Every structure is written in C-alpha cells, then in structure tokens.
Amino acid sequence: MDSAMKNLASFGSSGRLSTEDNEGEDISKLAIASFQAREEQIEKKKMEVKVKVESQLTRAEEATKRLAQVWEELEAFSDPMRKEVALMRKKVDAVNREVKLLGQTCQKKEKEYKDILEAFQEKNNEKTQLTNALIELVKQSESLRMKKLEELSKIVGPTS
C-alpha cells in the first residue's frame, strides 16, 4: 500500500501519463479494492455485533417475560394467602378476647369458691364443735337424771 502511494506521488511530479497512468490506475484499483475489503470487514463485523445484540435483546425480553409471569403468579399467590391469614388472625384475636374474659371469670369464680369453701369448712367445724358440746350436754343431762332417778328410787324404794 505504501508503494502504491509513492507511485501516486511520483506520477504527479514526473508528468508522464502512459506507463505511470496504467500504474496509477492499478494503484487506484488496488486502493479501492483495499478500501472495499475493509468496508466489507467492517460491515461483516457490524452485522456480527448486530446479531449478538439482537440475540441478547431477545434473551433479555424472554427473561423479562418470565420474570413478569413469575411476578404475576407471586402477586396472585400472596393475595389469597393474605386474606386467609388476616381472617384467621381476626378469629384468633376474637377467641383470645373470649379466653381472656373467661379466664377472668374463672379466677373470680375460683376465688368465690375458695371463700365459700372456707366459710363452709368453718361452719362445718363450728357444727361439729356444737354437736360435740350437745352430745356432752346430753350425756351430762342423762347422767344427772340417772343420779336423780337413783336418789328418788332410794327414797321411794325402802318404804315399799
């Protein structure tokens, strides 16, 4: 290529047209062919890059579509679950409030039961003490009556 340029330069300075004109024409053809070959290489490389870019864009579009489908499935999947979970939480909260109230009622009733049981046991003990005292009094009364009857019997007995 450099020799072709030198030939072109020598053509302009010498002024001869015949052999150098053919030579210049050959050089021009050679330069044009070289330029066209480079253009073809550039175009070929450009097409290769374009094909690669299109391929990557296609893959990216497919990946985007897959991700969009997955996203939609995820949204559809989580919506019913959220509703079910919220409904279940409301039910749990309602039952929890009922359990709390029942627990408080149970504690009050247990306290009342203990108080009443304690009062019952006290009264039962008092009844037992009173019954024991009554039995003792009845025994004493019987004993006294027996003595009185024996005394009366002694008084009545010797005269008859």
pLDDT band at 80 (very low <50, low <70, confident <90, very high): low
> What percent of the chain is modeled with pLDDT above 90?
60
**Residues 7/22, Cβ–Cβ less than 8 Å:** no
Closest CA to 19 of 7, 31, 33, 32: 7
Burial per residue of 55-74, b for 16 or more beta-carbon CB atoms within 10 angstroms, e otherwise: eeeeeeeeeeeeeeeeeeee
pLDDT band at 56 (very low <50, low <70, confident <90, very high): very high
Domain extents for the chain? 2-118
* DSSP one-letter code for 157: G
Closest CA to 132 of 120, 142, 124: 124
In the chain, how long is the greatest CA-to-CA distance? 203
CA angle, corner 75, sides to 85 and 59, nearest 5?
150
- pTM for the full predicted model: 0.39
> What percent of the chain is modeled with pLDDT above 70?
83
Work out the number of other CB atoms within 10 angstroms of the CB of residue 27: 19
Tokens coding 91 = 């039910």
20 CB burial (10 A radius; 0-12, 13-18, 19+): middle
pLDDT computed for residue 45 by the predictor = 93
pLDDT computed for residue 74 by the predictor = 79
